[in-house]
């Protein structure tokens, strides 16, 4: 039986999170799409999406803005203590926050009216991939923007590639990160070779194709 809960289900059935609808919207985030990605989504028309590394949901809202997207599985540990301070500037966040990142994500989904499409999975990326695999899920698009260490990105791509449906889009953020031990680019290139894929990067956006120069 599929026991997955949407953000709507979580807010309405888990007593601990009932109050989050009273919190204010917080628009903080990094990635709100780019023209190349928008073109690809419009052409590919993904229905089932996995987002790995979610934060407060800026990218979630961008992806949910496409009517073709029926559901988005959002994987993040939402654990402020576990954040890699080298890759996330949490100083940008209000210092006096008394609620958690996860609660803010849930309330943002409520305010943006995407809460019935969003399936939050509060796990590490690798655990989340195992959980989705156990449910038999595959995805038409997978977006990687979690751990930004070279090692972490390689682990994430290795964990999530098997969940990519045929002719679907594996893509992610921070192609511009090239300095070890945080070279997203090195990790993406090495992993592409491992899976027999070609990689293209524009700005911070990167994506895999089967052949050189393909769009998807
Ligand atoms: C850069 S933020 C994502 C930003 C988001 N795409 C946006 O534009 O707002 C990275 C997120 O990945 C999460 N993260 C980092 N390492 C992770 C891991 N190993 N497993 C799950 N989530 C992770 C962090 O908690 C953080 O919320």
Spans of all domains in the chain: 7-209
CA separation for the pair 208, 216 (Å, rounded): 8
pLDDT of residue 93: 55
pLDDT digits 0-9 by tens, 193-207: 999 999 999 999 999
**CA 80/CA 60 separation, integer angstroms:** 19
Ligand 1 surroundings by CB, under 6 angstroms: 29-31, 53-55, 58-59, 75-78, 83, 88, 124-125, 145-147, 152
pLDDT value at residue 216: 53
Closest residue by Cα to atom 5, ligand 1, is 54
Distance, CA of 182 to CA of 86 (rounded, Å): 9
In angstroms, the CA 5 to CA 27 distance is 23
pTM beyond 0.85: the answer is yes
Which ligand 1 atom minimizes the distance to the CA of 174? 1
Cβ 54 vs Cβ 79: under 8 Å: no
Q: What is the pLDDT along the chain (216 residues), one digit of tens a residue?
A: 458 999 999 999 999 999 999 999 999 999 999 999 999 999 999 999 999 999 999 999 999 999 999 999 999 999 877 776 666 655 455 555 556 899 999 999 999 999 999 999 999 999 999 999 999 999 999 999 999 999 999 999 999 999 999 999 999 999 999 999 999 999 999 999 999 999 999 999 999 998 665 555
The residue nearest atom 27 of ligand 1, judged by CA position, is 55
* CATH-assigned architecture of domain 7-209: 3-Layer(aba) Sandwich (3.40)
pLDDT of residue 10: 97
- Counting every residue written for the chain, the total comes to 216
């Amino acid at each position: 039986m599929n026991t997955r809960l949407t953000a709507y289900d979580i807010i309405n059935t888990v007593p601990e999170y009932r109050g989050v609808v009273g919190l204010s919207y917080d628009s903080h985030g990094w990635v709100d799409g780019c023209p190349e990605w928008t073109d690809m989504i419009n052409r590919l028309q993904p229905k089932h999406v996995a987002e790995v590394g979610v934060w407060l949901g800026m990218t979630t809202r961008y992806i949910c803005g496409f009517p073709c997207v029926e559901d988005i599985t959002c994987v993040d540990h939402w654990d402020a203590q576990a954040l890699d301070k080298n890759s996330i500037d949490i100083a940008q966040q209000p210092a006096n926050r008394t609620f958690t990142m996860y609660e803010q994500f849930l309330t943002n989904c409520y305010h943006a009216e995407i809460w019935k499409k969003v399936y939050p999975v509060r796990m590490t990326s690798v655990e989340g991939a195992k959980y989705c695999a156990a449910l038999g899920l595959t995805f038409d698009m997978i977006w990687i923007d979690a751990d930004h260490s070279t090692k972490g990105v390689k682990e994430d791509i290795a964990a999530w590639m098997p969940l990519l449906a045929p002719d679907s889009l594996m893509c992610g953020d921070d192609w511009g990160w090239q300095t070890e031990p945080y070279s997203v680019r090195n990790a993406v290139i090495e992993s592409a070779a491992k899976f027999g894929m070609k990689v293209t990067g524009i700005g911070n956006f990167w994506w895999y194709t089967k052949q050189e120069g393909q769009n998807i």
